[in-house]
Amino acid sequence: MAPVDVIRVAGGARLVGDVSVVGAKNSALKLMAAALLAPGETVVSNVPRITDIAVMAEVLRRLGADVRADGDELSISVPERPGAEADYDLVRQLRASICVLGPLLARRGYARVAHPGGDAIGSRGLDMHIEGLARMGAEMVNEHGFVIANAPRGLHGATIWLDFPSVGATENLLMAAVLAKGVTEIDNAAREPEIIDLCAQLTAMGARIDGAGSSRLEVEGVEGLRPVRHRCVGDRIVAGTWAFAAAMTRGDLAITGVDHRFLEIALDKLILAGALVETGPQRLRVRMDERPRSVDVVTLPYPGFATDLLPMAIALASVSDGASLITENIFDGRFMFINEMMRLGAQVQTDGHHAVVRGRERLSSAPVRATDIRAGAGLVMAGLCTDGVTEVSHVHHVDRGYPGLAEDLRRLGATVARGTVPDLPEFTL
């Protein structure tokens, strides 16, 4: 039985103090991929030291890049002719690695990238990536677990309508379009802050992009791009996690390093729940003095309530006064997390993509398992609201998005320990 990492958290803590948020994982990974578009050394700063970044660094190394870390900076030296194949052993660990498809196709006219893995939160097909690149002139084939893209004459501009504002598809098509011949229009594009951050880096590299932050991107292709220095935007999901943790524990947290405007709807929900929220440049403060009131939450593409904060919303609802209706519209597997919350005594009933959560004064401690990054963080925060010690296993998922979570919790007043336990064996008939 292989050992697994666990976090043990004692209930009853009130989180108080200052916490700083580093760069956004969901932005940094794509900024790293964008470095492939220009030969030379691109430097990305404010990068979180998490396992997903290490996996993406290895993906880039196998494509011929030299990747070096110095504090929160990554230096990525890209050769004149990078490799064109991203193998399964790495791609299966990190869904975001599919974002090398667009840059490689633009630079090399050919790419062979394994179908990605990542969190178990439901189906996330590549149809929009493939259809969009095909409109730009690429021949796209699915074969033996790989996406194979071929554009020997180069890519050309096209008008592309996305059936859904997919972040990944928007990023891949955007990075392919910056070196395509002519003008590419991407309609119903994703509007997330991470997309704006990627557009900012690409523009600094010499790309011509209009409409960043809107649902319509217009990209005029250029002959080539240059390497740059770029600072990654702060992680709004990590900041939101801390904001909900402050409300759940009736705590008082000052959160710095992120633009509060990226969290407007989430913060509005916390205000409705009874929290005092103060905001300023690159900072926000959340204080909750009484038991939270129940609030309804509906996840939607940005600027709606982020699906990545749904586990935190359910954890908050589980200790709130009243009943909350939580609706998930993005990922069909996000509610897998609810089974673990129910082990902690949460009163939840699900019906399709709806969950009714009836709050309790306090949850009950139990061993639970993290099934993905955000579910793991939500379970750790829920453990702060139990009547004993909660053990969250498989927290390697949490490490993929929250650097030093246990240390931060201890500094903010929680009793937290990290260790390993033997994994349970798998039984077969």
Q: How far apart are CA 359 and CA 338, in angstroms?
A: 14
Task: Check 52, 66, 70, 119 and give the catalytic one.
Answer: 119
Which amino acid would we find at residue 386?
T
- Residue 26 is labelled as binding a ligand: yes
Report phi then psi at 177, rounded to 5: -70, -25
- Residues 44 and 28: beta-carbon distance below 8 Å: yes
- Residue 95 is labelled as binding a ligand: yes
Nearest to 383 by CA among 186, 245, 233: 245
Residue whose entry in the numeric block shows the structure tokens 């969009």 = 132
The two three-digit tokens of residue 52, written as one number: 């997903």
Count Cβ atoms below 10 Å from residue 361 Cβ, excluding itself.
10
User: Greatest CA span in the chain, whole angstroms?
Assistant: 65
- Residues 305 and 294: beta-carbon distance below 8 Å: no
Which amino acid would we find at residue 38?
A
**119 counts as catalytic:** yes
- Residue 321 is labelled as binding a ligand: no
Q: How far apart are CA 203 and CA 200, in angstroms?
A: 5
Q: How far apart are CA 46 and CA 42, in angstroms?
A: 14
- Residue 269 is labelled as binding a ligand: no
- Residue 172 is labelled as binding a ligand: no
Residues in the chain: 429
Q: Which residues are annotated as a binding site for UDP-N-acetyl-alpha-D-glucosamine?
A: 95, 308, 330
Q: Which residues are annotated as a binding site for phosphoenolpyruvate?
A: 25-26
As annotated, the active-site residues are 119
Q: Which residues are annotated as a binding site?
A: 25-26, 95, 308, 330
